[in-house]
């Protein structure tokens, strides 16, 4: 995802601590609180992943639960199915339903005072005729795809500590996934997190990318391995339902100006969904403005990402705080 410049906190530990006391917002406590909320909502929402569930009901459940528990939504809830690896959320009045046997990736994020937790899980949707509609081979294969990204994440977490080079995390993920005769998705990465900044500059690779940048104590990173029986590469697919504000620009159409002002006011730092704008605008007006704003790059559109060969993809993600001798997972 796009990097949003945030000067509020920089990487220096010293500055972290100064800001921490000056602002009085307990950074670590906020990270832990956001993590707890994400983890609770993820577990609750996972139970809805079965045949017949409307994707819209699932994303709205996740987003409203995050709010109810006292956090903000860090990004629109992503529900990406089968060959779609990431970046799908329901548009307004989405009628898409989960089918039995689907590989459903649920990726959600919450923020407390701007400190973010980001976590994802993959579930094969249960259904009445699952056993009749799919052979054991297919079901086992899907279970392995799910297991592989989980194994990748475990291997990555075991690698994280102060001073470790980030390529070593990617290498651990890649080796774990290849152990299942599957491939990691090489052009998707995890990311560092900072206050109101979902992708704070550092990418956490899912392969050995030879990046020798070292992790530092107190850094917060989201690690998100993706596994597939395809080639392990994703491309943009049509449509975009998630966006980020980039910059204010002049537009002739009044409607477009109003929508952009609304976005700048409500979602200046973190990604938003087109669906959210339909609270304040007629859907047709919101979507025509989003199209124009995207074309002019006043906002950034995130297209759903599809595995190149159309093969199915799993994802597992946790947020961790880097420590001297290891790390703490905030979203367990
Ligand atoms: Co993430």
The answer on 251 and 104 residing in a single domain is no
The answer on 205 and 249 residing in a single domain is no
**Rg from Cα positions in the chain:** 20
Q: Does the residue 104 lie in any domain?
A: yes
Q: Does the residue 161 lie in any domain?
A: yes
Query: Is residue 107 flagged as an active site residue?
Result: yes
Q: Does the residue 271 lie in any domain?
A: yes
The answer on 277 and 319 residing in a single domain is no
Active-site residue among 65, 118, 147, 229?
Answer: 118
Cα-to-centroid distance, 130 and ligand 1 (Å): 30
Active-site residue among 224, 229, 307, 318?
Answer: 224
CATH assignment at residue 276: 1.10.10.10
Domain count, the chain: 2
Please tell me the pTM assigned to this model. Answer: 0.92
Query: Is residue 65 flagged as an active site residue?
Result: no
Query: Is residue 111 flagged as an active site residue?
Result: no
CA distance 315 to 153: 9
The answer on 39 and 176 residing in a single domain is yes
The answer on 321 and 198 residing in a single domain is yes
| Residue spans of alpha helices (H) in the chain | 13-23, 27-46, 55-68, 130-133, 136-159, 166-178, 254-266, 274-277, 283-295
The answer on 67 and 153 residing in a single domain is yes
Cα separations in angstroms, 132 against 27, 146, 312: 51, 21, 20
Cα-to-centroid distance, 95 and ligand 1 (Å): 26
Query: Is residue 317 flagged as an active site residue?
Result: yes
Three-state DSSP state, 18: helix
The answer on 263 and 125 residing in a single domain is no
pLDDT of amino acid 20:
43
The answer on 284 and 181 residing in a single domain is no
Q: Does the residue 307 lie in any domain?
A: no
Q: Does the residue 264 lie in any domain?
A: yes
φ/ψ of 80, rounded to 5, equals -110, 130
Query: Is residue 191 flagged as an active site residue?
Result: yes
Cα-to-centroid distance, 50 and ligand 1 (Å): 23
Termini Cα distance of the chain: 23
Contact call for residues 183 and 232 (beta carbons, < 8 A): yes
Q: Does the residue 2 lie in any domain?
A: no
- Which residues, in sequence order, are CB contacts of 194 under 8 Å at separation 6+? 6, 8, 9, 200, 220
> What is the largest distance, in Å, between two alpha-carbon atoms of the chain?
62
Q: pLDDT tens track of the chain, all 332 residues?
A: 333 333 333 333 333 433 444 455 699 999 999 999 999 999 999 999 999 999 999 999 999 999 999 999 999 999 999 999 999 999 999 999 999 999 999 999 999 999 999 999 999 999 998 989 999 999 999 999 999 999 999 999 999 999 999 999 999 999 999 999 999 999 999 999 999 999 999 999 999 999 999 999 999 999 999 999 999 999 999 999 999 999 999 999 999 999 999 999 999 999 999 999 999 999 999 999 999 999 999 999 999 999 999 999 999 999 999 999 999 999 99
The answer on 215 and 91 residing in a single domain is yes
Cα-to-centroid distance, 157 and ligand 1 (Å): 15
pLDDT of amino acid 24:
56
Cα separations in angstroms, 201 against 10, 204, 319: 11, 10, 15
The answer on 273 and 218 residing in a single domain is no
Q: Does the residue 1 lie in any domain?
A: no
Q: Quick one: CA dihedral 42, 46, 49, 53, positive or negative? A: negative
pLDDT of amino acid 2:
31
φ/ψ of 16, rounded to 5, equals -50, -50
Q: Does the residue 308 lie in any domain?
A: no
Bridge partners for 117 per DSSP: 110
Query: What is the residue range of 175's domain?
Result: 8-231+313-329
Q: Quick one: CA dihedral 214, 120, 91, 194, positive or negative? A: negative
Cα-to-centroid distance, 136 and ligand 1 (Å): 32
pLDDT of amino acid 202:
96
CATH assignment at residue 98: 3.90.230.10
Active-site residue among 65, 171, 199, 307?
Answer: 199
The answer on 298 and 161 residing in a single domain is no
Query: Is residue 118 flagged as an active site residue?
Result: yes
Cα-to-centroid distance, 78 and ligand 1 (Å): 10
For 154: left if phi > 0, alpha if psi spans -120 to 50, otherwise beta; the answer is alpha
The answer on 160 and 275 residing in a single domain is no
């Amino acid at each position: 995802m796009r990097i949003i410049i945030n000067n509020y906190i920089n990487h220096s530990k010293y500055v972290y601590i100064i800001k921490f006391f000056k602002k009085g917002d307990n950074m670590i406590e906020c990270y832990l609180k956001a993590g707890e909320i994400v983890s609770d909502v993820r577990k609750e929402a996972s139970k809805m992943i079965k045949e017949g569930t409307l994707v819209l009901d699932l994303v709205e459940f996740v987003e409203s639960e995050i709010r109810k528990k006292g956090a903000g939504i860090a990004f629109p809830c992503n529900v990406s199915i089968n060959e779609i690896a990431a970046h799908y959320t329901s548009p307004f009045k989405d009628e898409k339903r989960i089918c039995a046997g689907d590989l459903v990736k649920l990726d959600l994020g919450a923020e407390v005072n701007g400190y973010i937790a980001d976590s994802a899980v993959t579930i094969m949707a249960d259904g009445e005729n699952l056993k009749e509609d799919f052979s054991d081979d297919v079901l086992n294969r899907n279970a392995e795809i799910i297991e592989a990204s989980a194994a990748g994440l475990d291997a990555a977490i075991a690698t994280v500590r102060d001073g470790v080079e980030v390529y070593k995390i990617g290498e651990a993920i890649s080796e774990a996934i290849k152990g299942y005769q599957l491939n990691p998705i090489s052009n998707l990465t995890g990311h560092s997190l900072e206050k109101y900044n979902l992708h704070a500059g550092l990418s956490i690779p899912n392969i050995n990318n030879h990046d020798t940048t070292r992790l530092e104590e107190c850094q917060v990173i989201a690690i998100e391995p993706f596994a597939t029986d395809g080639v392990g590469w994703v491309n943009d697919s049509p449509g975009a339902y998630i966006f980020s504000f980039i910059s204010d620009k002049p537009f002739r159409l009044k409607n477009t100006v109003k929508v952009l002002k609304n976005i700048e006011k409500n979602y200046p730092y973190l990604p938003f969904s087109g669906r959210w704008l339909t609270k304040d605008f007629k859907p047709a007006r919101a979507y025509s403005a989003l199209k124009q704003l995207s074309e002019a790059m006043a906002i950034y559109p995130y297209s759903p990402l599809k595995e190149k060969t159309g093969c199915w993809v799993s994802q597992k993600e946790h947020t961790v705080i880097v420590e001297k001798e290891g790390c703490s997972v905030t979203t367990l």
